[in-house]
Copies of this chain bind each other. A is one copy, B any other.
């Protein structure tokens, strides 16, 4: 049982924040299971998603985007490279930088991750009408835009495209 989920506990939450914690944790575990079926760990999937839209970043930039230590990125990229999903290449202009890019296999895996996310959404939507579903999506986007929770330190880095 993950750390945060233990906090929410088995009691049906009476507030939006607790309910969001509860449902978000369930959704995360569900998506993590689908991710592992594709042969990578959830954090590795995060790296693949970022490189899908931000090709060519170096490891320090990736660490900042993910909000993790640069040493963490080393081991994540190590395994992705060993699996043939990510390419590491020393920059010719500054040989300190490792330029990261998805390989062809990496892009194929990213496509499978997207399909898995779509499948999860179909599962989630089972109890909801189409109208409910799109309304929920809009409300969640509004929540994401809200200033209520202290924003990510790395907010400025978030990809919006």
- B11 near A159 (CB under 8 angstroms)? yes
A99 within 8 A of B: no
Number of identical monomers bound together in the oligomeric complex: 2
Shortest A67–chain B CB gap in Å is 5
- B126 near A148 (CB under 8 angstroms)? yes
- B117 near A20 (CB under 8 angstroms)? no
Residues on A lying within 8 angstroms of B by beta carbon are 1-12, 15-32, 35, 42-43, 45-47, 49-50, 53, 65-68, 117-118, 120-128, 132-133, 135-137, 139-150, 152, 154, 157-160
18 contacts between A and B (CB under 8 A): A3-B42, A4-B4, A7-B35, A8-B28, A9-B50, A16-B125, A16-B140, A17-B120, A17-B124, A19-B144, A24-B25, A26-B149, A124-B149, A126-B147, A127-B142, A127-B147, A132-B139, A135-B135
Q: Given contacts A11-B50, A20-B20, could you give 6 more A-B pairs where the C-beta distance is less than 8 Å?
A: A9-B66, A10-B67, A10-B159, A15-B117, A16-B125, A127-B142
